[in-house]
Amino acid sequence: MLVYPVPVEVTQARIQLLVDQTAKAPPNTINEDLKAVYDAKALAQQAQIEQHAQAEPTALVDVKA
């Protein structure tokens, strides 16, 4: 499991969700906020994986003679 700092976009999406939940926004608004949180997390995780893959090229097969 990769551990990475929480990106600003994820934090902002979570804050917006909390604000809308506190304000008792309509369910469709809450669902959109949840989707925004999931999307931001997925994009951040994908970017981190890509960055990690570029930083450390690893061999798929370790062959020893």
- What span, in angstroms and rounded, lies between the C-alpha atoms of 26 and 57? 47
Burial track 43-61 (b if 16+ CB lie within 10 A, e otherwise): ebeeeeeeeeeeeeeeeee
Given this model, what pLDDT does residue 39 score? 94
pLDDT tens-digit series, residues 5-63: 788 899 999 999 999 999 999 999 999 999 999 999 999 888 888 887 776 666 566 67
User: pLDDT value at position 64?
Assistant: 74
Residues in the chain: 65
Which pLDDT does position 2 carry in this prediction? 55
Q: Specify the residue for token string 């551990």.
A: 3
pTM above 0.75, yes or no: no
